Structure 1
Amino acid sequence: MNDLTDAAIDLPPGARLLGREWLGFDETGEIALIRFQALPSFANRHGTIQGGFLAAMLDSATGIRALAALSADFTAVTRNLETRFLKPVTPGPITARARIVERTDREIVVEAALVDAQGVTVAEATAQLRVLQKK
């Protein structure tokens, strides 16, 4: 399993923009918890967070969950991200809960949900990620 504390120190630019913060695993050890900061600049004309930013958060959460399951000599890239927007969400903290639902040597399927500060699930996604050996 990767040491994600080291990865968190050197966040990629997209993760930095989203304010991604690795919180660890829940009590089961299976569900990764990742917090994002939805900035006011992410809002659409209605004052709610634009769906593309929510999709980026879900993509980031599913990817980091997959990485947490792999040894350091492997990585994962998203092949497909099926996203469902459930409720509008305003700027502020959003927490992702991501879990692996299927895994082979070449692919990992991860489900994630975004939950707002009031505990309401605002979006969900299922990602298919290809496992690759690092070069």
Structure 2
Amino acid sequence: MFTIEEGRAVLQAQPFSRLLGTELTEVDADERAVTLQLDLRDELRQQHGFLHGGVIAYLADNALTFAGGLVLGPSVLTGSVNLDYLRPVSAGPVRARATVVEVAGRTAICAVQVSSADDVCAVAQGRVRLVG
């Protein structure tokens, strides 16, 4: 397990997360859950004005890896992500809440909901692996 301060330090060590302006807003050890958030800026939109799908995928990926890190420790990497887009996002902030579903040895299976303005815009499931 890690504290929110320790998680924020890890997030700040990721140049891409700093570029996007991602924040770690919740670490819930009891529920084995984390929440990442970012504001929707014009630079993150696609040609129709919606949040780019790659940003949604990034949020889901990073959130599930942080959740996996809650139970496996800090040396983890994403092994897989399966993402379903449900609706476009036109306003922020955008939040990704990931929870650990199951732990088996060096692997954690996590589920993620990505939402904006209380509307779920994407759901994902992924596998996080302990490395090293």
Query: Could you tell me whether the CA contact under 8 Å between 1:2 and 1:70 is conserved in 2?
Result: no
Count how many residue pairs are aligned between Structure 1 and Structure 2.
Answer: 130
Aligned with 1:21 (options 23, 48, 60): 23
Matching residue of 1:85? 85
2:95 is the alignment partner of 1:127: no
- 1:103 paired residue number: 103
Of stretches 78-87 and 29-38 in structure 1, the one that deviates more from structure 2 is 29-38
Q: Give the Cα separation in 2 of the matches to 1:66 and 1:4.
A: 14
CA distance in 1, matches of 2:79, 2:52: 22
RMSD: 2.0
- Which structure shows the bigger proportion of residues in helix conformation? 2
TM-score, structure 1 normalization = 0.85
Identity of aligned residues (%): 24
Amino acid aligned to 2:118: G
Give how far 1:129 is off: 1.3
Question: How is 1:25-104 mapped onto 2 (pairs within 5 angstroms)?
Answer: 25=27, 29-71=31-73, 74-104=74-104
Structure 2 residue runs of 5 or longer lacking an equivalent are none
**Unpaired stretches in structure 1, ≥5 consecutive residues:** none
